[in-house]
Amino acid sequence: MSHSPKQYSQIFLSFLERTPASEHKKFIRSFAELLEENNDLKNEDEILFAIEQALYHHQNKIKVEVTERKSNSVSVPKKIAGKDTEVRNMIDPVVLGGLRIKIGDTVIDNSLQTRIKNLKNALTKN
Amino acid sequence: MKDTESILNELKKEIADIKSGPTISNVGEVLRVGDGVAIIRGLSEVRYSEMLEFETKEGKILGLTLNLEESSVGAIVLGSTEKIKEGQTVKATGNILSIPVGENLIGRVINALGEPIDGGPALDQSKMKSYLLERIAPGVITRQSVNTPLQTGIKAIDAAIPIGRGQRELIIGDRQTGKTAIAIDTIINQGENSGGTVPICIYVAIGQKESKVAQIVEKLKQSGAMKYSIVVSAGASAPAALQYLAPYAGCAIGEYFMEKGQDALVVYDDLSKHAWAYRQISLLLRRPPGREAYPGDIFYLHSRLLERAAKLNKDFGGGSLTALPIIETQLGDISAYVPTNVISITDGQIYLEPELFYQGIRPAVNVGLSVSRVGSAAQTKAMKKVAGTLRLELAQFRELAAFAQFGQDLDSATRIKIDRGRRLTEILKQPQYLNMPFEKQVASIYVATNGLIDSVNIDQVSSFEQNFLKFLDNNYSNVLKDLRDKKELTEEIQIQLKAAVEDYLKNYGN
């Protein structure tokens, strides 16, 4: 690895700021080419994660993932802990009912799936 | 079969106990996994040394955080890594690694996480306490200097390199020199010959062959020592993470008994393999390697473990935790990295030499290079008296032994010293599993150091010793009883011992 994911994210962020919005597409393409040139595409996952983190940090945002069984019925406040929320709604029938919210690294789980799993664990413990 | 109502009531109670509200947890996801370590991203609030839960399809696997980096967390997996996949969710538990400890561990074989591996019944957790694996050693205020002997039942050790309860005595030597034998003999000896309260013995096997551990457990069972022993095993096939944790688990169990005011003895067999396991983990976690590729904190790894051995003073219950770490050297090189570290941490070492072993001097203890820095304070008066002469005469013998090879032209004084030294060496030989109570050790060494057996042929010294002790048992049992009770070598006992030897030699001597 010629640069660490952290370094890539810093490079990405600083150039993104300097590039006018109309040129963003071009810049992103050349960044992807740079990764390939440096033979760093194998670390794609880590680099993307680092860029995501850096962007959130830079924009003072926090990612909120809401997982429900069917419809998206939850309204998430605009700000959590002083940070703007960026909501991503997900539909996953596996949760069965209730919902699971992930704010940053914290998961608040009130899904029927987890409750049933807890019940199963407790009953089969002995 | 219970009636339906009681079953339903039980079920209702169980259901009521289950947390039904939302659960809040700090999570991350597996980035990389392999060779017993996992790199995780996320887990922004996790602490150092916190337990993690990997959620796999087959159930939960525990992990332990060891590296907290800027964008990722390095953790060791306390189970098989095969079931963990990239992208899986990892939960922080908020708990520091601990194991359940209690009286019901006695007689059991467990792994480093406190789970029984002897096929016996599950442990009743309600009777157990949870003890942290990593704890700070007892402070200065709580301690007291060593004052009670830990009888090993081995003459060479109890006389020349005595061990006190609360001491840390290293057993060091090449492979196949009888290191484990000394430790196991010591455990077995605590049954009848402990000379006081019976300490709880904990044998920690680190990276040992499972067959060897099975043999040891069998031997302990046969000799009745399993009644007061616990075996913590992280065999050669166990993940390095468990081998790394096993000694801390053994120590935590020992601390439980120490804090109850009891005595405990922990054998770490062996810390070289422990250092290897830790080296493996550190290199996989990409910590910078240092000398011999060990990480920088290899000294702290062992010092924080051995520092937990202590003798507590009366205000803190008066318990003790004795540690017998074992180190295996390569080709007798005690100046390698890990051996020198552990030598400097412990209160002395028992040095075993392959040359002595092959000469038939077993236990192959090199009395010259072995020391016990604090144990003599705990020796009984009787033993101290005979051991003083023993050590002096052996030292003189070693100095003159070189001359002995040239044979003829020695003056009589030198020859007497050499002969005496040879007889003493003979007297200190002792087969495995034949532990000797303290009073018999004193009697044996007394007759040897006082020249009472100078007339016995050197090759017959050990058979003389055996028969003479039997003779004492049968005809002079009061002398042995006096020695045992008074723990002192009074004039009267000395006279009786001399008389006994004369009596024996007159009737049964050559």
- In order of B10, B114, B131, the CA distances from B101 in angstroms are 28, 8, 7
Query: Does the CB of B24 have a partner CB in chain A at under 8 Å?
Result: yes
* Distance (Å, whole) CA B187 – CA A4: 53
Q: Supply the pLDDT for residue A71.
A: 77
> Taking CB atoms and an 8 Å cutoff, what residues of chain A touch B47?
none
CA atoms within 13 Å, Cβ hemisphere of B452? 25
Query: Does the CB of A107 have a partner CB in chain B at under 8 Å?
Result: yes
CA distance B45 to chain A (A): 8
Q: Supply the pLDDT for residue B408.
A: 66
Answer whether A106 sits within 8 Å of B27, measured CB to CB: yes
- Preferred mutation among A107, A112, A120 to probe B, highest tally of B CBs within 10 A: A107
**Range with the lowest mean pLDDT among A57-61, B39-43, B249-253, B400-404?**
B400-404
Answer whether A49 sits within 8 Å of B27, measured CB to CB: no
Catalytic residue among B135, B287, B304, B373: B373
Label residue B92 by pLDDT band (50, 70, 90).
Answer: very high
**Range with the lowest mean pLDDT among B13-22, B259-268, B308-317, B420-429?**
B13-22
Label residue B18 by pLDDT band (50, 70, 90).
Answer: low
Query: Does the CB of B25 have a partner CB in chain A at under 8 Å?
Result: yes
CA distance B44 to chain A (A): 6
* Distance (Å, whole) CA B226 – CA B219: 9
Label residue B443 by pLDDT band (50, 70, 90).
Answer: very high
Answer whether B18 sits within 8 Å of A50, measured CB to CB: no
CA distance A81 to chain B (A): 15
Q: B304: exposed, middle or buried (C-beta count within 10 Å: 0-12, 13-18, 19+)? A: middle
Task: Report DSSP letters for B235-260, one per residue.
Answer: -TTS-HHHHHHHHHHHHHHHHHHHHT
> Taking CB atoms and an 8 Å cutoff, what residues of chain A touch B85?
none
One-letter-per-residue 3-state SS of B419-465: HHHHHHHHHHCCCCCCCCCHHHHHHHHHHHHCCCCCCCCHHHHHHHH
| pLDDT reading at B237 higher than 60 | yes
Query: Does the CB of B136 have a partner CB in chain A at under 8 Å?
Result: no
Q: Supply the pLDDT for residue A125.
A: 65
Query: pLDDT for B318-345, tens place per residue?
Result: 999 999 999 999 999 999 999 999 999 9
Label residue A43 by pLDDT band (50, 70, 90).
Answer: confident
Q: Supply the pLDDT for residue B407.
A: 63
CA distance A67 to chain B (A): 14
Which residues fall within 8 angstroms of residue B58, CB to CB, at 6 or more apart? B83
Q: B269: exposed, middle or buried (C-beta count within 10 Å: 0-12, 13-18, 19+)? A: buried
CA distance A42 to chain B (A): 13
Nearest CB to A53: which of B11, B18, B71? Answer: B71
Answer whether A102 sits within 8 Å of B71, measured CB to CB: no
* Distance (Å, whole) CA A22 – CA B420: 100
**Range with the lowest mean pLDDT among A73-77, A104-108, B230-234, B245-249?**
A73-77
Write phi, then psi, for A33 (nearest 5 degrees).
-65, -40
**Residue of chain A minimizing CA distance to B45:** A105
Q: Which helix (H) or strand (E) holds B175?
A: none
- Count interface pairs A-B at CB distance under 8 A: 53
Answer whether B22 sits within 8 Å of A109, measured CB to CB: yes
Nearest CB to A109: which of B14, B23, B41? Answer: B23
Instruction: Round the average pLDDT of chain B to a whole number and report it.
Output: 92
Which residues fall within 8 angstroms of residue B185, CB to CB, at 6 or more apart? B152, B153, B154, B432, B433, B435
**Range with the lowest mean pLDDT among B12-26, B110-124, B471-485?**
B12-26
Q: Supply the pLDDT for residue B322.
A: 97
| pLDDT reading at A1 higher than 70 | no
A6-29 as b/e, with b when 16 or more CB fall inside 10 Å?
Answer: bebbeebbeebeeeeeeeeeeeee
Query: Does the CB of A5 have a partner CB in chain B at under 8 Å?
Result: yes
Q: Supply the pLDDT for residue B368.
A: 86
Query: Does the CB of A106 have a partner CB in chain B at under 8 Å?
Result: yes
Nearest CB to B19: which of A105, A107, A118? Answer: A118
Label residue B3 by pLDDT band (50, 70, 90).
Answer: confident
Percentage of the residues of chain A whose pLDDT score is greater than 70 = 98
Nearest CB to A105: which of B18, B23, B44? Answer: B44
Answer whether B44 sits within 8 Å of A104, measured CB to CB: yes
Query: pLDDT for B351-387, tens place per residue?
Result: 999 999 999 999 999 988 899 999 889 999 999 999 9
Residues 40-69 of chain A with CB under 8 A from chain B are 45-46, 49-50, 53
Query: pLDDT for A83-109, tens place per residue?
Result: 888 888 888 888 888 888 999 889 998
Answer whether A50 sits within 8 Å of B44, measured CB to CB: no
Query: Does the CB of B15 have a partner CB in chain A at under 8 Å?
Result: yes
Q: Supply the pLDDT for residue B20.
A: 66
Query: pLDDT for B19-30, tens place per residue?
Result: 667 889 999 999
| pLDDT reading at B455 higher than 60 | yes
| pLDDT reading at B509 higher than 80 | no
Instruction: Round the average pLDDT of chain A to a whole number and report it.
Output: 86
CB atoms within 10 A of CB B317: 14
| Radius of gyration for the alpha carbons in chain B, expressed in angstroms and rounded | 27
Label residue B2 by pLDDT band (50, 70, 90).
Answer: low
Q: Supply the pLDDT for residue A126.
A: 53
Is-contact A125 B18, C-beta < 8 A? Answer: no
Structure letter (DSSP) for residue B348: E
> ipTM value of the model?
0.81
Mean of pLDDT values over B143-156: 94
Active-site residue flag, B165: no
> Taking CB atoms and an 8 Å cutoff, what residues of chain B touch A45?
31
Mean of pLDDT values over B90-97: 94
Label residue B194 by pLDDT band (50, 70, 90).
Answer: confident
> Taking CB atoms and an 8 Å cutoff, what residues of chain A touch B17?
122
Query: Does the CB of B20 have a partner CB in chain A at under 8 Å?
Result: yes
Q: Supply the pLDDT for residue B263.
A: 97
Most confident of A82-96, B409-423, B485-499: B485-499
